[in-house]
Amino acid sequence: MNYYAHPTAVIDEGCSIGNGSKVWHFSHVMPQSVIGENCILGQNVLVSPRVTLGNNVKVQNNVSLYTGVVCEDDTFLGPSMVFTNVINPRSFIERKNEFRTTLVKKGATIGANATVICGVTIGAFALIGAGAVVTKDVPDFALVMGNPARQAGWVSRYGHRLEFGSDNRAVCPETGETYEKTGDTVTWIR
């Protein structure tokens, strides 16, 4: 075992956990789930079957990752944020064959207590504000907030708000990296 699991964590047979990952108090990793290297699962995290987490994913306390959730490398899931996996759940109707995939792309952050409705894609390095309710796809580098979530601007890979000039370029104040906006798309110029 090349990962750490707190003694109160439940790790089911048939899951995969990468080197250097940590699973903390009262968390449960279920069969057929895949957790990459150097991930951190905080206290009271549920990872359901067929969930995939890339490398360096940080899942804060009290998050449930339901079947259909895919998080790419370097994503951050804030405390008590919520994923759904069925669009119209009813307790008296079994809809396990209707689970929808939710994709969180590389480097994206979802703030505390946000809710992500199933079937959406959250773009690379997007930043979802605390308490937001995401009901539709979010573009790469977008800053969204509110209920329902609406775009409030753009952010850099380091999470700083980008201010675009008349040349449709912006610079991250922390790194000096340049970004370019074309229509409703922002790209990082390497």
| CATH superfamily, with its number, for domain 4-156 | Hexapeptide repeat proteins (2.160.10.10)
Could you give the CA distance from residue 141 to residue 120 in angstroms, rounded to a whole number? 15
Write the pLDDT tens digit of every residue in 108-154.
999 999 999 999 999 999 999 999 999 999 999 999 999 999 999 99
pTM score of the predicted model: 0.96
Q: What are phi and psi of 32, to 5 degrees?
A: 65, 10
Average of pLDDT values for 42-60?
98
pLDDT of amino acid 130: 98
pLDDT of amino acid 116: 98
Could you give the CA distance from residue 180 to residue 141 in angstroms, rounded to a whole number? 11
Beta strand segments in 48-175, E: 52-53, 58-59, 64-65, 69-71, 76-77, 82-83, 102-104, 109-110, 115-116, 121-122, 127-128, 133-134, 142-145, 150-154, 169-171
Q: What is the CA radius of gyration of the chain?
A: 17
Task: Inform me whether the pLDDT recorded for 190 exceeds 90.
Answer: no
Residue bearing tokens 């504000």: 129
Given pLDDT bands bounded at 50, 70 and 90, which one contains residue 163? very high
Domain-wise residue ranges, the chain:
4-156
Could you give the CA distance from residue 28 to residue 64 in angstroms, rounded to a whole number? 9
Task: Inform me whether the pLDDT recorded for 187 exceeds 90.
Answer: yes
pLDDT of amino acid 120: 98
pLDDT of amino acid 68: 95
Task: Inform me whether the pLDDT recorded for 72 exceeds 80.
Answer: yes
- Average pLDDT taken over every residue of the chain: 97
pLDDT of amino acid 122: 98
Given pLDDT bands bounded at 50, 70 and 90, which one contains residue 78? very high
Given pLDDT bands bounded at 50, 70 and 90, which one contains residue 1? confident
